[in-house]
């Protein structure tokens, strides 16, 4: 048996991850001098409410000891562990996972993967890995499933401001200055494991622009679409659902996923995005 382990920046709510059979280790959110476990001790909206009043939140990667404990637990009941984590260019989490595996007796049975992703794209990669396990795949099959998602998916995010990403060191000052203009929203995507601002769009047109890019990429092919949203703004989420439904995309499956506390601390309130993958 193979266990799939990931970290909380996949933004799968804990109960959903358990239902899928996916194991999760949490990063930490530092808020008002308190250290809170991502998704466990703090809800995403608590971070956004704090930031809307001018507060800041910082984050910390998973400790190496936490990985060691989880690997030992999982290896008692599984032949291998495939450990899939957010991009090593955004966090030291995946490096700590590697160090923990290397120091562990039986660590050769732990396969650590740097997904190059975070949030909904990471969730999609992790769920594809779990499906590969369910289909009887070995560790190599699971790794191929992760890479297939990276190669075939398309994901873009729109943030209200790049200030939070710049403060957290996730994007450069030059990119922030180029993208932050009154009345426009930066559009970002993952490139070589980093978040990059790729264009600026008038705020009212941002969601249409991102959906147009998906239509250019996938045409009429059947796809799965995920709406990512920072916070439980039901009116905004409903509007994004409507936009997807009227976009002309051939959506066979769809879901909405909240952007969690750790990722939210870096992208800020008002962030949303779309991710699409082909449906076999």
The residue among 102, 105, 100, 112 whose CA lies nearest residue 139 is 112
Query: What is the bridge-based pairing of β-strands 154-158 and 23-25?
Result: unpaired
Please report which confidence band the pLDDT of residue 171 belongs to, taking 50, 70 and 90 as the band edges: low
Could you please state the CATH topology (level 3) that the domain comprising 154-278 is classified under: Hypothetical Protein Tm841; Chain: A;domain 3 (3.30.1180)
pTM over 0.85: yes
Q: 53-76 burial, b if ≥16 CB within 10 A, otherwise e? A: eeeebebebbebebbbebbeebbe
Q: Which fold has domain 2-27+62-152?
A: Rossmann fold (3.40.50)
Domain with CATH 3.40.50.10170 in the chain: 2-27+62-152
Q: Where in the chain is the domain with CATH 3.30.1180.10?
A: 154-278
Say which range, 84-88, 186-190, 240-244, 245-249, has the weakest mean pLDDT.
Answer: 186-190
Q: How far apart are CA 241 and CA 238, in angstroms?
A: 5
Q: Enumerate the β-bridge partners of residue 43.
A: none
Mean pLDDT of the chain: 93
pLDDT at 164 over 60: yes
């Amino acid at each position: 048996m193979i266990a799939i382990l990931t970290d909380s920046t996949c933004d799968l709510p804990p109960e959903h991850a358990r239902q899928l059979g996916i194991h999760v280790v949490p990063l930490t959110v530092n808020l008002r001098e308190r250290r809170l476990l991502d998704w466990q001790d703090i809800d995403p909206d608590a971070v956004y409410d704090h930031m809307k009043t001018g507060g800041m939140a910082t984050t910390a990667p998973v400790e190496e000891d936490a990985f060691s404990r989880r690997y030992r637990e999982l290896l008692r009941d599984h032949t291998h562990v495939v450990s899939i984590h957010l991009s090593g260019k955004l966090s030291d989490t995946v490096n700590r996972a590697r160090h923990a595996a290397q120091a562990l007796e039986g660590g050769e049975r732990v396969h650590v993967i740097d997904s190059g992703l975070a949030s909904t794209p990471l969730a999609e990669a992790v769920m594809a890995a779990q499906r590969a396990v369910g289909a009887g795949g070995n560790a190599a099959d699971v790794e191929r499933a992760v890479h297939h998602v990276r190669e075939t998916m398309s994901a873009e995010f729109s943030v209200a401001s790049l200030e939070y990403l710049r403060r957290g060191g996730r994007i450069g000052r030059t990119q922030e200055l180029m993208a932050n203009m009154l009345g426009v929203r930066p559009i970002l995507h993952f490139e070589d494991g980093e978040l990059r601002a790729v264009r600026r769009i008038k705020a009212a047109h941002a969601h249409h622009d991102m959906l147009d890019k998906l239509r250019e990429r996938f045409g009429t092919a059947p796809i799965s679409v995920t709406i990512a949203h920072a916070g439980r703004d039901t009116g905004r989420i409903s509007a994004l659902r409507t936009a997807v439904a009227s976009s002309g995309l051939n959506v066979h499956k769809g879901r909405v996923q909240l952007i969690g506390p750790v990722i939210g601390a870096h992208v800020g309130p008002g962030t949303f995005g779309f991710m699409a993958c082909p449906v076999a």
